[in-house]
Amino acid sequence: MTGRGVDIEREVLIAFDLLLVVVLGLLLYSVSARDSGLPPGAFDAMQVVLVVSALLADAVALWAIAARITEFGFTPNRVAALGVNVILLVNLAWSAVLYIRFLRERGSFSDLERWQTNYLPVYAVWAAVVVIVFPPLFGYI
């Protein structure tokens, strides 16, 4: 115990985010490639383990970002990273819930497909906020 919060360098946080994007890409690919009529199998259980692991990594990244914001203040990069990590957290958390429901045969796979399809515009909206709102907000215009 050092008495300090999570002390992760910027490059490591970027690597965490890239890892989370890769996990999201794998999830999107597996959801789009899977026949929704098939019953749950071992691959689906592995997908849940992957998503839950990504959630843990995202929680650590969010903790580190919050620590950096607390210690050094708000910057465009920190706010953008915080936003995308919160968006990823929500997407992965609800995906895990829907996937677990599917594994326990209390939900359908199409619920997960619908969630992923409906959630994709959230990323576009956040990208638009970063591109359109951040420059005047942080004095870059």
Tens place of pLDDT for every residue, the chain, 141 residues? 444 556 678 888 888 899 999 999 999 999 999 999 999 999 999 999 999 999 999 999 999 999 989 999 999 999 999 999 999 999 999 999 999 999 999 999 999 999 999 999 999 999 999 999 999 999 887
The one-letter code for the residue type at 104 is: R
What sign has the CA pseudo-torsion 36, 39, 43, 49? Answer: positive
> 91 to each of 23, 34, 42, how far by Cα in Å?
11, 19, 22
Put simply, whether the predicted model's pTM sits higher than 0.85 gets the answer yes
